[in-house]
Amino acid sequence: TSALEERAEAKIGPGVREAVQVLEETKQAILGSDETAPTVLVAIELKPPISGITRTANAEISSMTKNIIDDLDDKDFKTYRTYATIPIMYGFVSSSDALNILALNGNVESIDLDVGGTGGNLSTSFFDRKLLTKSVPKINADQRHIKGNKGNNVVVAVLDSGVDTDHPNFRGRIINEACFADANPNDGN
C-alpha cells in the first residue's frame, strides 16, 4: 500500500471498517442488490480551520464540508448533520467505497462510529457506569453529596452538543434551549 493509503486508513477509527463490512455482507444476503440498504452512522472530524476558531473559520468549515459531500456518491453516503462553527459532520455510510473516499479526503481528520453516551445510567454496562464513578470525583461532586447537596431546587445550565430533550428526566424541566452550532437550527435539534 502507498503512504497515502496508510495515512487514510489511520483516520478510520476502531470498529468502523468492520461495521461497514458487516453491513455490506448483510446487504448482499438480504437484498441481493443495491437497493436501499442499512447504513453505519459515522462522526467525521474535519481538519482544524487554518484561521483557528474564529468567525472567519465558518467559511472554511463550510468549504471543507461541501468538498467532502461533493466527493461522495449520494447512493453510498447520506449527510446526517453538518455544523457552521464546529469542524465535524455526521453521515450514513453504506459501502467500503464511500468509507475509502472519506478517508482519502484531505479535509478529513478522523472517522469514528457515532455511539451515543450513557452518562453512567444504571441500566448500562458495568464499564459505562464505572466511567461515571471516575468522573464524579474529578468535579468534586462526591464531596458536595457528602455535605448533603444533592441538587434539589438547583437550576442547572447544560451546554452540550446533544441533549435528549425527550428523556423522562428532562420532561417538563427544560426552561429554554438554543443551538449555537447547527448549520440548520430549524431541524428540531
pLDDT in tens, 145-162: 788 887 777 777 767 666
Whole-model pTM: value is 0.60
- Confidence band, pLDDT 50/70/90 cuts, at residue 122: very low
Give strand pairing partners of 153.
Answer: none
Say if CB 57 and CB 49 are below 8 A apart: yes
Q: pLDDT grade, residue 16 (50/70/90)?
A: very high
The three three-digit cell numbers of residue 176, written as one number: 429554554
CA distance 54 to 187: 25
Higher local confidence (pLDDT), 126 or 136:
136
